[in-house]
Chain A
Amino acid sequence: GDSVTQMEGPVTLSEEAFLTINCTYTATGYPSLFWYVQYPGEGLQLLLKATKADDKGSNKGFEATYRKETTSFHLEKGSVQVSDSAVYFCALRAKAAGNKLTFGGGTRVLVKP
């Protein structure tokens, strides 16, 4: 079945550090890929997406590139802020399996001043 694997947290960083969260997937065909962010006590917010190979999603300084060869969608940000502290979820939508999202286990990121 479809699955998403992402690096376990927590990831603790200092402000202005470089952030990478690894995400790999298994799916039939070519899924759409997403990163969602969950701030404390809140729901999931779409951070960025990519719908086909080599697409790069970007938003709020975050980037992720859809790599078909390595079935990966790693999230990166060059300089994190304290406000980026949250749980980040990688997710896929297998187009042959309807519209449901399959999520990874989430990675908690803590940015210290």
Chain B
Amino acid sequence: AAGVIQSPRHLIKEKRETATLKCYPIPRHDTVYWYQQGPGQDPQFLISFYEKMQSDKGSIPDRFSAQQFSDYHSELNMSSLELGDSALYFCASSRYDSGKENIQYFGAGTRLSVL
């Protein structure tokens, strides 16, 4: 079965540079979530989109922005990178189904290293 695809898998950037992470949800999934997992930390929710509209916002820095496109893929744009942005970034997707638990399926993550 198709899974959530994230690219790139690894990314190395310098401080103050920008980075773009991409996420391709499972086919027919309409909701995308972004999480950040720092070293030895639990994943922290950043932001989510449903049907191309932002649906929820967590602890996402103002330097970050994200969007969901017409084909439902999503991109997380990160600017003015800081050392503390080094983390594993997960994307998850789900399909909205009223009255049912919308299970989130996770991608393998993008490991961002800021030097």
Contacts and interface: CB of A to CB of B under 8 A. Distances in A.
Given A43-B109, A46-B105, A103 B90 contact: no
Measured as residues with beta carbon below 8 angstroms from the partner, the interface class of chain A is 20 to 34
A42 interface: yes
Measured as residues with beta carbon below 8 angstroms from the partner, the interface class of chain B is 20 to 34
B106 A99 contact: no
Contacts of B42: 89, 103-106
A104 B41 CA distance: 9
B56 A44 contact: no
B113 to A, nearest CB: 15
A49 interface: yes
B33 A100 contact: yes
A43 B90 contact: yes
A36 B56 CA distance: 21
Interface string A56-91: 000000000000000000000000000000000100
B58 interface: yes
Contact of B55 (A93, A98, A102): A98
Nearest to B4: A43
Given A89-B43, A104-B42, A99 B108 contact: no
B47 to A, nearest CB: 9
Contact of A43 (B41, B102, B106): B106
Contacts, number: 53
Contacts of A49: 101, 103
A100 B109 contact: no
Nearest to A46: B103
Contacts of A36: 106
26 contacts: A32-B101, A42-B108, A43-B4, A43-B106, A43-B107, A43-B108, A43-B109, A46-B103, A46-B104, A46-B105, A51-B101, A98-B48, A98-B55, A98-B56, A99-B31, A99-B48, A99-B56, A100-B33, A100-B48, A101-B35, A101-B43, A101-B92, A101-B104, A102-B45, A103-B43, A105-B41
Given A44-B92, A100-B48, A101-B104, 5 more contacts: A42-B108, A46-B104, A93-B101, A99-B104, A100-B56
Closest 3 CB pairs of A and B: A103-B42, A44-B106, A100-B45
